[in-house]
Amino acid sequence: MSGLQIFNAHPRLYWGQYGANADPALLEMGAVQDSQGRALGLTRVGPWTFHTTGVLGASKDAQGNWTERGFPRWATLPSEQDLATGRHWHFMFAWLIVTNSALYWLYGALSGHFRKDLWLDRRERHPRHILRDIWDHIRLRRPVGAAASRYNTLQKMAYLVVVFGLAPLMLLTGLTMSPGMDAACPFLLDLFGGRQSARTLHFVTANLIVLFVAVHLFEVLVSGPWNEVRSMITGWFVIPGDEP
Amino acid sequence: MRRVLSLSRRRLILTGAAGAGGLLLPGCDRLSEAPDFRRFLQSGEILSFGAQRLLLAGQPLAREFAPRDRSPTFRTNGSTLPVDSTYQALAASGFADWRLAVDGFVQRPLRLTLADLRALPGRSQITRHDCVEGWSAIGKWTGAPLAQVLMTAGLQPSARYIVFHCADDMDSSTAGQALYYESIDLFDAFHPRPSWPTRSTTNRWKSAMARRFVCASNGNSATSTPSSSCASRRSTAFRGSARARAAIGKTRVTLGTRGDLSPGSSRPPSARSNSRVNLGRKSETNSTSIYTFSARRGTA
């Protein structure tokens, strides 16, 4: 999306206060030419290098020509390499998601939603219960009856990690990349160990959120998408096992 | 049997979702090109600009680093050896004939030599240079604050922005025809506190400090990446290392009023104002959207 567009402008990640081409990167994407002159996409993560031709490092442009770019055109916003437009998308929607999240946090805290629906009770915190919940998920076994109308334990844990972990991390690491914010809130640099560390964490966190969304969509699909989506919007939820 | 049906339904939905995702992005590209939607996207800058100006109203100082924290190799932004023939001639003579022209909406247009700039009160700092592309490099900068030069020239009340005319080409396709330029507003150009250049007791410098240096050098061994065209909002002319000096060129600074400055404008800088001062170092248009906003606000 727009973040990948921005990443593509410099497809390398570092740790610390500084990081540019001459500095060692934790992750980098690029293209080389093989002996036949074909583009070879390479992605290096730490000591491991992967051939990722077609997706990462080297992919085809709109005309079908091979070009060196981090993420492929179908994954970036806009498709063409256009950092300025990517940043416009990124920051407009950053404001929207931060505003939405702030309202959600406010509502969750004031209404008791976090305490009643997200927080794990003593029984749910028991390792044996968590293990059984994991096993249920692996077997795609859905809760039935009244239990189906509540968040299950893994679901609660995932929401807690996103709401109180990944989302604030996303916001703070994003702010740390702004030189102005670093001047206004110098503790940000100490918190993450530098602008480049923050950039790396921002990237990793974004990937984890994408993973969360993918798993979440999968779970909605396997547990009856019509019923789930309708209940998300209208609150009308038919408890599995009760349908006529 | 029912299970099979339900799986195929899921597959149908998944296929539909993937298809929708595939359709979504080209749709976004069309949105990106629609003028109204672009205006909507860019309006996010009003919020970002306002929030930054609110938080930075007290002009907090950017972090200064220790000598050991500097990047071992400082990536140079823009080109280190502009192809422009005038520039090359200046470089060949050690910039003896180079002048920093400060003109536009100023009371006393200036033409400063390198020696003039070096004679101004200066200071050194080790701060981080950030690129809009995402990379950072920490280097040591030495020179006179831009505010010194501007105060010497004396701004006219109508001046709103500072335009920097660089020796770099706008891009490789315009070699020798359109030179790079960059602009900042007066908030960024000036530090509000008059005692500013000697405020060395504090360990932190203003966020945009490097930006305000007219002359600076990088204490590191600079290696060049001539093809790089990364953005920096720092308009810094270099003295010091020979390579850094190459960036000084026939650049100028222009003081303009509103409307002078939209960075995306295709008009050459010289058409916009008859004045200029100039400092080295290439920056990129992408990073200057914040100033586009200033221009818009000025027009309103």
Q: Tokens 């270099």 — which residue?
A: B238
Residue B14 token pair: 């998944």
A137 and A70 share a domain?
A: no
- List the single residue in B25, B138, B207 with the smallest CB-CB distance to A77: B25
A117 and A201 share a domain?
A: yes
Give the minimum alpha-carbon distance from B209 to chain A in angstroms, rounded to a whole number: 11
Residue A86's alpha-carbon distances to A1, A59, A224, in angstroms, are: 8, 19, 36
The confidence score (pLDDT) of residue A43 equals 94
Asked if residue A173 has pLDDT above 80, the reply is yes
Note whether B56 contacts A184, CB cutoff 8 Å.
yes
Give the minimum alpha-carbon distance from A230 to chain B in angstroms, rounded to a whole number: 16
Paired with B127 in beta bridges are: B139
Which residues of chain A does B130 touch, with a Cβ-Cβ cutoff of 8 Å?
A: 177, 179, 195
The confidence score (pLDDT) of residue A9 equals 94
B82 C-beta neighbours (distance < 10 Å), count: 29
A184 at interface of B, judged by CB pairs closer than 8 A: yes
Q: Is B161 helix (H, G, I), strand (E, B) or coil?
A: strand
The confidence score (pLDDT) of residue B121 equals 87
Which of the residue ranges A151-160, A234-243, B8-17, B221-230 would you say has the lowest mean pLDDT?
B221-230
The confidence score (pLDDT) of residue A214 equals 92
Q: Is A4 helix (H, G, I), strand (E, B) or coil?
A: helix
> Is residue A200 domain-resident?
yes
The confidence score (pLDDT) of residue B256 equals 52
Element spanning A169, H or E: helix A167-176
Of A52, A169, A23, A48, residue with least CA distance to B134: A23
Fill in the amino acid letter for A144. Answer: V
B31 C-beta neighbours (distance < 10 Å), count: 16
Q: Tokens 């009643």 — which residue?
A: A116
Considering only residues 42 to 101 of chain A, which have any Cβ-Cβ distance to chain B shorter than 8 Å? Answer: 74, 77-80, 82-85, 87-89, 91-95
Q: What is the mean pLDDT of residues A221-243?
A: 75
Mutate to test the interface with A, among B8, B45, B59, B133 (most CBs of A within 10 A): B133
pLDDT (tens, 9 = 90+) of chain B, 300 residues, equals 344 444 455 555 555 555 555 556 667 888 888 888 889 988 889 999 999 989 988 888 889 999 999 999 998 877 778 878 888 899 999 999 999 999 999 999 999 999 999 998 887 889 999 999 999 999 998 888 888 899 899 999 999 999 998 888 777 666 667 788 888 888 888 854 332 332 222 222 332 233 333 322 233 333 222 223 333 333 333 222 222 222 333 345 655 543 333 333 333 333 232 223 333 333 332 222 222 222 222 222
Domain B63-299 has CATH 3.90.420: yes
Note whether A179 contacts B207, CB cutoff 8 Å.
yes
The confidence score (pLDDT) of residue A71 equals 93
* Residue A132 domain boundaries: 112-234
A220 and A163 share a domain?
A: yes
Which of the residue ranges A79-88, A155-164, A225-234, B10-19 would you say has the lowest mean pLDDT?
B10-19
Residue B184 token pair: 């900042």
Instruction: Give A209's pLDDT tier (boundaries 50, 70, 90).
Output: very high
A121 and A205 share a domain?
A: yes
Q: Helix, strand, coil: what percent of chain A each, to 5?
A: 55, 10, 30
Q: What is the domain partition of chain B in residue ranges?
A: 63-299
A10 at interface of B, judged by CB pairs closer than 8 A: yes
Give the minimum alpha-carbon distance from A191 to chain B in angstroms, rounded to a whole number: 14
A221 at interface of B, judged by CB pairs closer than 8 A: yes
- List the single residue in B26, B41, B74 with the smallest CB-CB distance to A88: B41
Note whether B13 contacts A225, CB cutoff 8 Å.
yes
A127 and A229 share a domain?
A: yes
Instruction: Yes or no: say if B246 and B267 are a contact pair by the CB < 8 Å rule.
Output: no
Instruction: Yes or no: say if A41 and A52 are a contact pair by the CB < 8 Å rule.
Output: yes
> Is residue A106 domain-resident?
no
Of A1, A27, A2, A8, residue with least CA distance to A196: A27
- Chains A–B, number of C-beta pairs less than 8 Å apart: 138
A63 C-beta neighbours (distance < 10 Å), count: 6
Instruction: Yes or no: say if B263 and B16 are a contact pair by the CB < 8 Å rule.
Output: no
Of A25-29, A213-217, B44-48, where does the model show the most confidence?
Answer: A25-29
A215 at interface of B, judged by CB pairs closer than 8 A: no
> Is residue A97 domain-resident?
no
Nearest CA in chain A to B46: A92
Last residue of a domain, one of A50, A75, A100: A75
A199 at interface of B, judged by CB pairs closer than 8 A: yes
Note whether B134 contacts A10, CB cutoff 8 Å.
yes
A130 and A64 share a domain?
A: no
Cis peptide before B268 (omega within 30 of 0): no
**Predicted ipTM?**
0.86
> Is residue A84 domain-resident?
no
A40 at interface of B, judged by CB pairs closer than 8 A: no
Of residues B77 and A113, which shows the higher confidence score?
A113
The confidence score (pLDDT) of residue A37 equals 80
Give the minimum alpha-carbon distance from A9 to chain B in angstroms, rounded to a whole number: 5
| Pairwise CA distance, residues B133 & B159, whole Å | 30
Q: What is the pLDDT of residues A178-197, one digit of tens each?
A: 999 999 999 999 999 999 99
Give the minimum alpha-carbon distance from A124 to chain B in angstroms, rounded to a whole number: 30
Give the minimum alpha-carbon distance from B110 to chain A in angstroms, rounded to a whole number: 31
Nearest CA in chain A to B7: A222
A229 at interface of B, judged by CB pairs closer than 8 A: no
Note whether B25 contacts A74, CB cutoff 8 Å.
yes
Note whether A78 contacts B206, CB cutoff 8 Å.
no
Give the minimum alpha-carbon distance from B20 to chain A in angstroms, rounded to a whole number: 13
A116 and A227 share a domain?
A: yes
Which of the residue ranges A63-72, A220-229, B268-277 would you say has the lowest mean pLDDT?
B268-277
The confidence score (pLDDT) of residue B175 equals 62
Of B288, B144, B139, residue with least CA distance to B219: B139
How far is CA B47 from its chain centroid? 20
| Secondary structure of A215-244 in HEC code, one letter for each residue | HHHHHHHHCCHHHHHHHHHHCCCCCCCCCC
The confidence score (pLDDT) of residue B245 equals 29
A6 at interface of B, judged by CB pairs closer than 8 A: yes
- List the single residue in A78, A92, A181 with the smallest CB-CB distance to B28: A78
Give the minimum alpha-carbon distance from B97 to chain A in angstroms, rounded to a whole number: 34
Nearest CA in chain A to B289: A84
Paired sense of beta strands B100-104 and B252-256, if any: parallel
Which of the residue ranges A1-10, A228-237, B49-58 would you say has the lowest mean pLDDT?
A228-237
Note whether A6 contacts B134, CB cutoff 8 Å.
yes
Of A157, A122, A108, A119, residue with least CA distance to A137: A157
The confidence score (pLDDT) of residue B8 equals 53
Of residues A14 and A134, which shows the higher confidence score?
A14
CA trace torsion B114, B130, B163, B48 (10° rounding): -150
A62 and A117 share a domain?
A: no
The number of distinct structural domains making up chain A is: 2
Which pairs count as long-range contacts for A105-113, CB under 8 Å and 24+ apart, including other chains? Answer: A105/A163, A108/A163
| Pairwise CA distance, residues A19 & A28, whole Å | 12
- List the single residue in A18, A80, A217 with the smallest CB-CB distance to B71: A18
Of residues A50 and B86, which shows the higher confidence score?
A50
> Is residue A88 domain-resident?
no
